[in-house]
Structures are given as structure tokens and as C-alpha cells.
């Protein structure tokens, strides 16, 4: 398994130089503590925890997995102790509101910690990651009593949280869920049903687990308009806030999975468990979107983390592994062969990984800044604009980054050749762990329908125009910059084409709604490459300015420009295939009769 090293220089580049985080935090309400020195100290300490505590447990978790018994689920060796250190360090409370015991830092600061934790050990990072979404849901939709009962314990990390949506007969189609909630005389509800694929649903790392559960009330309307949201704790809290008697919720089994073995993915049985309604009746799905949007951006981090960890492993190996001679003559004449990093195809794989990881970091941090403005912006106008921009970017970040993150892990494994297929190197684990990212929190197809159908076409393209206007302004500002020409011209072209393609798809969908589903994944991938082009052009611009001003880090900034150049020449052309595919129409998919699929 690669030894994770937090990419602190690149994190600083994206935060401070590309996105001007200092000015960003100064423009937020209540972010006074997010000074450059404070943020830097947090990230430095977080890096140590991730490198020294979490990374060594990554392969341990994969090999041991979680163990189920009637008494509960035991996590892999070291996981519980690492979580104790995490809580003692105050990390869970970093971005929560001070009113409930949090430190009140912007969400984007916490997201950097999430990136480092997820890259060092994704399975472990899922335990506190799920809690974060549960905390946000209770903060936004819970009653004062619910906040008093649960928030301080969850924010401190003493208790963890989950989201319980999926049932065996329904995955993303939540309108068909069957779990039910019967009113009790004391104002609580009796929750009955079975949920599957519940990450961190049962474990030994915290004293209590607070489940956020979707269920139906008696007489509720059919479909998604009849779903309510409930708090169902593993153990019922006593009046003094301590853990009381066990609730009627149990883990029936844990799933045997392709990857993320260190995280318990549970079948949860609710047998008349006592729960409390969150938010209005039959509006549970609306409230749950608070949780789901947080989880979707969190899942985007998995694409980034997988690419980063795989790149770190394959880069070190490529520098060390000797095989064959360079086609242009020996580069290691004293040795029996040259290091494989001299070979063009290995360079192609490494540069793809690097472009993916660093581009993903820029996309996620940029999207997270919009989230900061949504929650802490100083004007209603700023909050509204950021909310709409974040809504547009989130499905792209979730689906595009997990898809190309998987590609990056496979390239990392390929750099190792046959050794990549062997477990002891750890590269195949990164591939297995990353694969789930394209599935949970809404598959790539679901995210693509959300982007094209809901976010773009249902707004008559306004959400897209909001982003393409930013790109247009950037291109206009750099129109006379000769050094930026190689980036600006293709960026202008794809920005215009993006709008043209959208208009054509909108016209096609008016004739046949299947056109949306047929084009949606290609549209999302095209959109991802277009967003990357904007961000890589911006990164190249920052780097060129730094070198023009004079710097002691010439190598770092030159590498940024060269990676941007690689992206524009080698990866952005992929949009050609996606553009052609999305316009070919639904007939090639839908004309075949179902019985013709038989073999």
C-alpha cells in the first residue's frame, strides 16, 4: 500500500493562490477565526494524523474487514483507537456551529481534512463522514429538543450518525420504500422496516449511533410525496444525556463487498424502534437532501483521494522500477535498464493521474467555497447565486470525479504491471475501494439525469449560463495574454459548444423524453471535462504569473503549466466523442426489442 503523504503544497496552491481563500473567508459572516495562520496550522496537524495514524491502518482494514456477531460489529484492529484520537483532537467539531459546541469554521476547511482522511484511509473516513451529514440534517430540520438531545454528542464525536434510505426492493427509487412509522401516544413513532447498504450502521467506535431514517406514516400519499424523516438512535438517550437502554434497532448482517472492507456496510432491522419525526410530515425527502448533497460532495472526494493515492504509489514505483531502455538512448547508463518513468506511455498514465487529482482538488474546493457562501454569505443575493452554482456543480463533481478517479486507479495499477495485480503492493485495493464511488449516493446515471434534466433543461439552461458566463469573463480578461492563448482559445470554443449542444438536446427532448436519458451521461462527462478546462486554464494562469514575477519554486509552477498543457492536448479532446454520442439520439438504444437481448 502506498504510504500516503498529504500534498500540502498543492492544497495551499489551490486554496490560497487559485481560490484566494483568505479573501473568501473575510467575505463570510462568522468566519473571523479562519485566518491564514489558523487554517494552515489545522491542515498541518491534520496531515500528521492522516499520515501517521490513518494511512498505516488502510491495508489492515482491507485485510481484516469488519466482524459481525449478535453483540454488534467489531471494526478492524486500530480503527477504534484511531477514532478516539480523532475525537480527542477535536476534529469532529471543526465546522459545526459554536452554539452546539462546534468551532464554527467554514465547511471548506473541514473538507480539506475530509480529503486527507479519505485519501489516507477511505474506509475509516466514512465513519465520521456519515456523521457530518447527520449533524447538518439535525441542525437544519430538527426541533430544539432534538438539537439539545443529539447535537452536542454528535458534534463532539461521542456519538456517530448514519443515513438509512435504501431497501432491498428500492435503491435510488425511494418512492417505493415500505418502512413504516406508527404514531405513539407520547409523540414518538414506532419505526418498522429493513434498510440495506447502511455504511457505518453498526460499529464499536462510539457509544451511540444516531440513524436518520426514511419511513411512511399511516395514510401517507404514494411515491416520494409520502415519505417522512425520523431520528432513530441505537440507544435511547436518558434525560441527563447519557446512553440509556437499547432501542429496537439491530444489525442483521454486514455485506461482503468488493472493497472498503474496513467500513461496516450493514443490513439494519427496525423492529418497532422508537423514533422522532424530523421536519414536516411527508417532507422527509426534501429534508434528506440536506444530508444527500453533503454526501454527494463527500463522495466526489473519493474520486480525488483515489486518484491522489494511486498517483503517489505509481509515481514512486515508476522512478524506482528499471525496465528496458529509452527509445532515445539510455537515461541510466550505469544501470542494467532505465527507470520506467522515461517511457512515453508511462508518462501518459502518470500525467493523466496527476491531471485528474489536481483538477479534482480544484473542482471540489471551488464547489465547497460556494457551500460556504450558501451558509455564511453576507447577502441574500450572494447566497442564492452560490446555491444555484453549487447545485449545478455537485452532480458533475460527484459523478465525473468518481468516474475519472476510477480510471486513475486503473492506470496506477497498470504502471506497476504484474505487481499491480498483487495484493501486497496495495494498488489493487485502491481500485477496489474506488469502484463504489460511481454507485452510492446516486449512480453516475442518476447524477447525469439530475444535471441534464433537472438542473439544466428544467431551468431553460439558466444554471449552465451562470457557469459559462464565468468562463466567458475569464477568457475575455485573458484575451490579449499571448502566453495563455493555448488555453484560452480551446476553452472559448468548448464553452460556446457546451451551450449549443444543450440547446440541441433541449429541442430533441421536446420530441422524445428518452433523448434526455440517452444523452445524459455523455453530457455529464462533457461537462466535467469543460469545468476541468476552465480550472486548469486558471491554474496555468496563476503559475505563469508567479514565474513572470520571479519565484524560488520554478519547478512547481512549471509543472502546473505543463500539466495544464497535457490536459488540453490529451484529455480535453475526449469531449469530441461525448459530443457526437449525445447527439446521435435515443433510437440506437431503444429500438431493440427486449427479447432480442437474449443469448
Identify the H or E element spanning 251: strand 249-254
For 34-38, which contacts have Cβ atoms below 8 Å and span 24 or more sequence positions? 34/105, 34/106, 34/109
Of 441, 462, 482, 554, the catalytic one is 441
- DSSP string across 134-175: HHHHHHHH--HHHIIIIIHHHHHTSEEEEEE--BTTBSS-GG
What is the C-alpha separation between 571 and 531, in angstroms, rounded?
Answer: 12
- At 39, is the secondary structure helix, strand, or coil? helix
Locate cell 547508463: which residue?
Answer: 333
What is the C-alpha separation between 265 and 162, in angstroms, rounded?
Answer: 11
- At 229, is the secondary structure helix, strand, or coil? strand
What is the C-alpha separation between 453 and 460, in angstroms, rounded?
Answer: 10
Could you tell me what percentage of the chain is helix, strand and coil, using 3-state DSSP and rounding each to the nearest 5?
65, 15, 25
The predicted pLDDT at position 249 comes to: 98
Calculate the dihedral angle through the C-alpha atoms of 328, 333, 336, 337, rounding to the nearest 10 degrees: -30
For 314-323, which contacts have Cβ atoms below 8 Å and span 24 or more sequence positions? 314/349, 314/350, 314/353, 314/411, 314/412, 314/413, 314/415, 314/416, 314/427, 315/341, 315/350, 315/353, 316/2, 317/415, 317/416, 317/419, 318/346, 318/350, 318/415, 321/416
The predicted pLDDT at position 291 comes to: 64
Give the phi and the psi of residue 560 in degrees, each rounded to 5.
-60, -45
Identify the H or E element spanning 75: none
Measured between its terminal Cα atoms, the distance across the chain in Å is 41
Query: Residue 20: which region, alpha, beta or left (left: phi > 0; alpha: psi -120 to 50)?
Result: left
163 contact partners, CB below 8 Å, separation of at least 6: 130, 133, 134, 198, 212, 288, 291, 292, 295
- Grid cell locating 206: 462510539
pLDDT in tens, the chain (599 residues): 889 999 999 999 999 999 999 999 999 999 999 999 999 999 999 999 999 999 999 999 999 999 999 989 999 999 999 999 999 999 999 999 898 899 999 999 999 999 999 999 999 999 999 898 899 899 999 999 999 999 999 999 999 999 999 999 987 888 889 999 999 999 999 999 999 999 999 999 999 999 999 999 999 999 999 999 999 999 999 999 999 999 999 999 999 999 999 999 999 999 999 999 999 999 998 887 766 777 789 999 999 999 999 999 999 999 999 999 999 999 999 999 999 999 999 999 999 999 999 999 999 999 999 999 999 999 999 999 999 999 999 999 999 999 999 999 999 999 999 999 999 999 999 999 999 999 999 999 999 999 999 999 999 999 999 999 999 999 999 999 999 999 999 999 999 999 999 999 999 999 999 999 999 999 999 999 999 999 999 999 999 999 999 999 999 999 999 999 999 999 999 999 999 999 999 999 999 999 899 87
**CA-derived radius of gyration, the chain:** 24
Model confidence pTM above 0.85: yes
The predicted pLDDT at position 410 comes to: 98
441 is catalytic: yes
List, in sequence order, every residue forming a beta bridge with 251; answer none if it has no partner: 268
Amino acid at each position: 500500500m502506498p504510504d500516503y503523504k498529504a500534498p500540502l503544497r498543492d492544497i495551499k496552491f489551490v486554496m490560497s493562490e487559485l481560490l484566494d481563500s483568505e479573501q473568501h473567508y473575510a467575505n463570510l459572516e462568522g468566519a473571523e477565526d479562519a485566518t491564514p495562520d489558523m487554517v494552515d496550522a489545522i491542515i498541518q496537524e491534520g496531515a500528521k494524523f492522516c499520515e501517521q495514524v490513518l494511512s498505516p491502518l488502510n491495508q489492515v482494514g482491507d485485510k481484516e474487514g469488519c466482524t459481525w456477531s449478535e453483540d454488534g460489529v467489531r471494526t478492524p484492529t486500530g480503527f477504534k483507537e484511531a477514532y478516539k484520537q480523532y475525537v480527542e483532537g477535536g476534529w469532529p467539531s471543526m465546522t459545526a456551529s459554536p452554539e452546539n459546541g462546534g468551532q464554527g469554521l467554514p465547511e471548506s476547511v473541514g473538507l480539506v481534512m475530509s480529503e486527507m482522511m479519505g485519501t489516507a484511509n477511505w474506509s475509516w473516513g466514512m465513519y465520521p463522514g456519515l456523521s457530518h451529514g447527520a449533524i447538518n440534517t439535525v441542525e437544519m430540520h430538527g426541533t430544539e429538543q432534538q438539537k439539545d438531545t443529539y447535537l452536542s454528542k454528535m458534534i463532539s464525536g461521542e456519538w456517530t450518525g448514519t443515513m438509512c434510505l435504501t431497501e432491498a426492493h428500492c435503491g435510488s427509487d425511494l418512492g417505493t420504500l415500505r418502512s413504516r412509522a406508527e404514531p405513539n401516544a407520547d409523540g414518538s413513532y414506532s419505526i418498522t422496516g429493513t434498510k440495506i447498504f447502511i455504511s457505518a450502521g453498526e460499529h464499536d467506535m462510539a457509544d451511540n449511533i444516531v440513524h436518520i431514517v426514511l419511513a411512511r406514516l399511516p395514510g401517507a400519499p404514494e411515491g416520494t410525496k409520502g415519505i417522512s424523516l425520523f431520528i432513530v438512535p441505537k440507544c435511547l438517550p436518558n434525560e441527563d444525556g447519557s446512553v440509556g437502554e437499547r432501542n429496537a434497532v439491530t444489525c442483521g448482517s454486514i455485506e461482503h463487498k468488493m472493497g472498503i472492507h474496513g467500513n461496516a456496510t450493514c443490513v439494519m432491522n427496525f423492529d418497532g424502534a422508537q423514533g422522532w419525526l424530523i421536519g414536516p410530515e411527508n417532507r422527509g425527502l426534501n429534508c434528506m437532501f440536506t444530508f444527500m448533497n453533503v454526501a454527494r460532495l463527500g463522495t466526489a472526494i473519493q474520486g480525488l483521494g483515489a486518484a491522489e493515492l494511486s498517483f503517489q504509489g505509481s509515481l514512486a514505483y515508476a522512478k524506482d522500477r528499471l525496465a528496458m531502455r529509452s527509445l532515445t538512448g539510455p537515461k541510466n547508463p550505469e544501470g542494467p535498464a532505465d527507470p520506467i518513468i522515461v517511457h512515453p506511455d508511462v508518462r501518459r498514465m502518470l500525467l493523466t493521474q496527476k491531471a485528474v487529482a489536481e483538477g479534482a482538488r480544484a473542482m471540489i474546493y471551488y464547489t465547497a467555497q460556494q457551500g460556504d457562501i450558501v451558509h455564511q454569505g453576507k447577502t441574500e443575493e450572494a447566497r442564492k447565486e452560490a446555491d444555484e452554482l453549487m447545485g449545478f456543480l455537485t452532480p458533475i463533481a460527484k459523478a465525473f470525479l468518481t468516474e475519472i478517479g476510477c480510471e486513475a486507479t486503473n492506470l496506477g495499477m497498470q504502471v506497476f504491471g504484474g505487481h499491480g495485480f498483487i495484493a501486497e503492493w496495495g494498488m489493487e485495493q485502491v481500485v477496489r475501494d474506488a469502484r463504489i464511488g460511481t454507485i452510492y449516493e446516486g449512480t453516475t446515471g442518476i447524477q447525469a439525469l439530475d444535471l441534464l434534466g433537472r438542473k439544466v433543461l428544467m431551468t431553460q439552461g439558466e444554471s449552465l449560463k451562470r457557469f459559462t458566463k464565468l468562463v466567458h469573463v475569464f477568457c475575455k480578461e485573458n484575451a490579449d495574454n499571448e502566453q495563455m492563448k493555448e488555453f484560452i482559445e480551446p476553452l472559448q470554443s468548448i464553452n460556446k459548444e457546451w451551450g449549443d449542444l444543450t440547446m440541441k438536446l433541449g429541442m430533441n427532448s421536446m420530441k422524445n423524453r428518452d433523448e434526455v436519458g440517452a444523452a445524459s451521461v455523455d453530457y455529464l462527462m462533457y461537462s466535467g471535462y469543460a469545468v476541468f478546462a476552465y480550472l486548469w486554464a486558471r491554474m496555468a494562469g496563476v503559475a505563469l504569473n508567479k514565474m513572470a514575477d520571479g519565484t524560488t519554486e520554478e519547478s512547481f509552477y512549471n509543472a502546473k503549466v505543463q500539466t495544464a498543457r497535457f490536459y488540453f492536448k490529451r484529455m480535453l479532446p475526449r469531449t469530441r466523442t461525448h459530443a457526437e454520442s449525445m447527439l446521435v439520439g435515443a433510437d440506437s438504444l431503444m429500438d431493440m426489442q427486449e427479447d432480442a437481448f437474449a443469448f
